[in-house]
Structure 1
Amino acid sequence: MARHVPWPGHHVTVNMLWICVGLLAALFPVVVPQETQEPISYSCTEGYEYDSVREQCKDIDECALLDDACKGGMQCINHFGGYLCLPKSAVIVISKEGEEMPPREPAAPVPAVPPSQPQRPARVFPGGRVSQTGRMTVRCSAGFVADEQNVCRDVDECATGRYTCGPEQTCFNTRGSYSCQCPAGYQRNRDQCVDANECDTQNPCQHHCYNLIGSFLCQCDQGHELAPDLVSCQDINECSFSSYMCQYQCINSPGSYSCECPEGYQLQGNRLCQDVNECETGTHNCQDDEMCWNYYGGFRCYPRNPCEAPYTQSSENRCICRSQTECQGLPPSIVYKYMSIQAERPVPADIFQIQATSTYVNTQNNFRIKAGNEAGDFFLRRSSNVSAMLVLTKPLSGPREYVVDLEMITHHLIMNYHSSSLLRLTIIVGAYAF
């Protein structure tokens, strides 16, 4: 049975003793003298078998004899008296008898052999060479070197300084070799690093690219800004900057924005909203017997003749009572007025002035809010003997209509009697503060 020489971890240990014994046995077979008259018998060393034709011991080819001599993807290499299991990537060099292989590394010194013992010739085994000491040395490919266990290891040229990179280049070790790389933003031109124009070769920017020495700069179109990756562009939401971008509503769009106004308003300039006077433009639906009154954001239709019995119309917006019997306890006249204000108006605010149309000597006038101020939204301040100012005391929300009766009481000092006149003021509050 042939001996199997293992290859653990790519390490080969060959017992040269039994190889030499087998070699001597092959060269000097044991022969029984002829005078014995007994049958001649021969005995070969393990790993050899007797060749009766040549009358000598010959090597047994275990690799051809055994189907599974080597496992794990290893290749079987037959040699005298045994076989080797080597990786399939191992370099196999076989020399002819008498030839010497040029050593890749300095050969180990061969110890002296006593004269009484014949010197063993050096023999090259597959995958490397074997010195006369019997130690096998693996031959490695370029960029590799054998370690103490005869395993080919990669040479780190960058760590050992065995590279030719320029001073501005960086050495990167690779399996069996190395590479020289330029800094980011540069590219190799023969042995030098030159600026790489990323704008021409890569076009990395979404909008505009500007080349710099060793780098590049991206810029975006108006209304856009650079994303965190510094190459992509994202829309700027101008509406998020401030609530003053638009008076009413800001509409963002890719690269820009626009302002919109509510119904009843039109855009003035870029951000302001201006009331549309439907009464002047004719875009109202009031009837012929109605009067159109415009207010902030809309319009209202009021009767052209607001007088109700027992009052009759004497002039536009003025109603008088001609029957003292029917009008007893009622003001002799009522004047109808209309006004519009914006919502949420700052207070206090003077909004309407009442003034006597006729003045008399020896009279004193007093003013008061007779009706329509249940919530205390207004205050009437006397300005003089013939006038008073209606003051807004609270911000009002709209759209809403307020009807406030303002009364002027006249006291005749000589004749000692009182008279009054009423102004019915309709206040229309718009829906917005503009």
Structure 2
Amino acid sequence: MQAESTQTCSMTRQIWASKNTKHISIHCRFLTHICCLSNLRNFFCEEGLKTALRLLPCNEKILESKDSYQICCKCCELGVRTGRDQGDCEPMTVLDKKCSEQFTNCCKRAKFLSCDAGFKMGDDERCQDINECLSSPCPKTMMCKNTPGSFQCIEGCEFGYIWSMKYGQCRDIDECAILKHNCTHGHRCENMPGSFRCIRESNCGTGYQVDPVTQTCMLMNVNRILMNAGKPGYICKNVPGTYKCVPENCRFGEKFNAFYGRCEKMQCRSGFNLTLTGKCIDINECAQKPSPCKLSERCDNIPGSYRCVQTFTCSEGLEMKDLQCLDIDECAIGNHTCLPPAICKNTYGSFHCECPTGFIFKYDTCVDDDECSKGSSICPINSECRNTPGSYVCDCTSGYKMINERGICEDINECELSPDVCEQKCINIQGSYYCLCKEGYRLNSDKQTCRDLDECSMISNLCQYRCINIPGSYKCICPSGFTIERGSQCRDIDECHLGIHNCPVNNICVNLQGGFRCHSTDCPKGYEKFGNNRCQLNARWCQKHQNNTNLRCTVHKPVKYIYSFISLPARMNIPTEIFRIRNRKLSRNQHAEFDLRLINMNDPYNNSSQIILDKFQLKINPSYNVHLIVTRDLHPIDEIELHIYMKIFTNNTLHSISVMKLFIDINQYDFNP
């Protein structure tokens, strides 16, 4: 298309045979032009987006007249700057829809952008060209020229030669091949080392000959021809390629005689005068003052003379009195053809009919003059012209009133004239008005009354938990244990952190989604408590009961219990990691084994412990770091107690056992995203 190939759009007029074909052609040409303009706007918009995403400044000079380039480039550049500053990439309401979308897309891509090869990041967070020539990358015999993103090594050559990177030397420029010559039509260009020459291929024509050196056409010497071409009364002149003979100029009153080849004096017969152009014209003797005829005679001009004609009659409209023709007043005696309402006006020798104001003379009578058909300027703006017999009236259009007769049509403020015309808001406009509703309401089909909008049913996920519609708005509520945040988000209240719980001193307060739970971490017999969540096997206790078969410490007795408490939401991405065990580095002769066991659960939906355990998975890395992953959705339940047994083997012999006791609480509330 024209927009893609030339970056311009132009309309060409075409002539068609019939009117219908011409009508269709005009529509097609306009549609094609509109399509071209739309594609051209999209093309420059894409160029602007590419510039901003390359972290280059928007081109202010070359494309300063292309609005779509500037707008798209600036909107994307704003998004890139916001994204690189770790700003919020949410759409900006102050921008229009398209610019806001470009802002958001460029903002999200900003952190992945980098400068192209040959460019570096400047202090203004824009990519700047690297001047490679500063590091002298070219050989000493060549000159370095910096280019955007790269450089060129240029060798100086003599006129007619150019440096070749391929051959590493100056090569002849073929001016004929690249059309860098001045040979004219009829010449053939022939390339020469460092130059070219033009060779003539066609004749020069009559009166010219070819110059053997310059190959140009030279004028032939025709002086000898002119010497033999002269004739009596003619002047011969040399012209390019030939000659021509013209008659000699004659003086005023003379005329050139082509037969004798001489100028001869012109003579006019009596009653004619000679003009400057050499023509004889008739003399109008009747136009002379005084007239050559008597007062009672009429002078008639004839070719070369005149004649006086005696007359005793007066022309129509005149009457003879005492040998004088006097005017007849047709209007006074009623001898006229003017029909009412026309008025008769007497003139010398005749009369004419005049029409009163507001009428025009047409078809031998006075008809009403339709002033309204003469254009819209006769009446003020916002009015319509109404014709009347002999005059017209200006009527203001609906919504306007006349201030003074044929003066100004002023807008009627319907909102002030009828305050109850709209239920909530009335906006006056020129010639009319329209009704608006307050925020949270919508205009009914009668365009006057308003109805409340149920935002909760119209917009999904308007609130994170529950939406309640109220007149003109809505309200978001959260379950107990949560506070409302930013009008729609539910933020959990951390009772443990705020100290608003009732857990005993020896218990651990664990914050849940919408509440808290008190956990006791009493250590079993033979274990000593370290901190709030760790029980370590007591060496003294083991030594004291080493002879007791039921109580003595063996390698199968865990060396420590570690308590961990986890609170999970009812809705989360699956799979997801909820717990991790990081082991110290084991020696080469050691390895670890892990076992996941379900100790306790409270599931109102399913009583199968195996189904609950299948929703968890242990993922063991080569370094014996363990990740506990939830692989399936969990139902809101009171509590799940899992134990992870970690066994350390030395030379394939059990060395020690550690138990991680996990207490998992699932949020009972299902929140929107």
Report what 2:510 is aligned to: 293
Aligned pair partner of 1:270 in 487, 507, 532: 487
Aligned pair partner of 2:569 in 339, 342, 345: 342
Is the Cα–Cα contact under 8 Å of residues 427 and 435 in structure 2 kept in the other structure?
yes
- Structure 2 Cα separation of the partners of residues 433 and 250 of structure 1: 14
Aligned pair partner of 1:421 in 641, 648, 658: 658
Superposed CA deviations along residues 84-116 of structure 1, whole A, max 9, x for unmatched, are xxxxxxxxxxxxxxxxxxxxxxxxxxxxxxxxx
Q: How do 1:284-363 and structure 2 match up within 5 A? A: 284-303=501-520, 305-309=521-525, 311-321=527-537, 322=542, 325-326=550-551, 330-356=557-583, 359-363=586-590
Change (3 A) 1:298 1:430: same
Aligned-residue identity in percent: 33
Aligned pair partner of 2:624 in 371, 383, 386: 386
Identify unmatched segments of 5+ residues in structure 2: 1-383, 387-395, 600-608
Report what 1:15 is aligned to: none
- Structure 2 Cα separation of the partners of residues 343 and 320 of structure 1: 34
- Structure 2 Cα separation of the partners of residues 213 and 289 of structure 1: 78
Q: How do 1:8-47 and structure 2 match up within 5 A? A: none
**1:407 aligns to 2:634 (yes or no):** no
**1:371 aligns to 2:564 (yes or no):** no
Is the Cα–Cα contact under 8 Å of residues 503 and 509 in structure 2 kept in the other structure?
yes
Give 3-state SS (helix, strand or coil) of 2:505's partner: coil
- Structure 1 Cα separation of the partners of residues 588 and 531 of structure 2: 26
More helix, by proportion = 2
Is the Cα–Cα contact under 8 Å of residues 199 and 209 in structure 1 kept in the other structure?
yes
**1:396 aligns to 2:647 (yes or no):** no
Give 3-state SS (helix, strand or coil) of 1:374's partner: helix
Residue 243 of structure 1, CA deviation: 2.4
Change (3 A) 1:219 1:330: same
Give 3-state SS (helix, strand or coil) of 2:639's partner: strand
CA RMSD of aligned residues (A): 3.4
TM-score by length of 2: 0.34
Superposed CA deviations along residues 143-174 of structure 1, whole A, max 9, x for unmatched, are xxxxxxxxxxxxxxxxxxxxxxxx999xxxxx
**1:199 aligns to 2:415 (yes or no):** yes
Residue 186 of structure 1, CA deviation: 7.0
Change (3 A) 1:330 1:370: farther
Is the Cα–Cα contact under 8 Å of residues 508 and 532 in structure 2 kept in the other structure?
no
Superposed CA deviations along residues 223-273 of structure 1, whole A, max 9, x for unmatched, are 222122111122222223322322112232222223222211112222211
Is the Cα–Cα contact under 8 Å of residues 642 and 663 in structure 2 kept in the other structure?
yes
Q: Which one has the largest radius of gyration? A: 1
- Structure 1 Cα separation of the partners of residues 560 and 404 of structure 2: 107
Report how many residues are paired.
256
- Structure 2 Cα separation of the partners of residues 263 and 291 of structure 1: 22
Residue 369 of structure 1, CA deviation: 0.7
Identify unmatched segments of 5+ residues in structure 1: 1-166, 170-181
Q: How do 1:27-426 and structure 2 match up within 5 A? A: 197-203=413-419, 204-303=421-520, 305-309=521-525, 311-321=527-537, 322=542, 325-326=550-551, 330-356=557-583, 359-372=586-599, 374-375=610-611, 376-413=614-651, 416-426=653-663
Residue 424 of structure 1, CA deviation: 0.9
- Structure 1 Cα separation of the partners of residues 490 and 452 of structure 2: 26
Residue 278 of structure 1, CA deviation: 0.2
TM-score by length of 1: 0.52
- 283-292 or 248-257, larger mean C-alpha shift: 248-257
Residue 310 of structure 1, CA deviation: 5.6
Change (3 A) 1:197 1:371: closer
Residue 378 of structure 1, CA deviation: 0.3
- Structure 2 Cα separation of the partners of residues 405 and 168 of structure 1: 96
Change (3 A) 1:408 1:225: same
Is the Cα–Cα contact under 8 Å of residues 615 and 631 in structure 2 kept in the other structure?
yes
- Structure 2 Cα separation of the partners of residues 207 and 315 of structure 1: 66
Give 3-state SS (helix, strand or coil) of 1:240's partner: helix
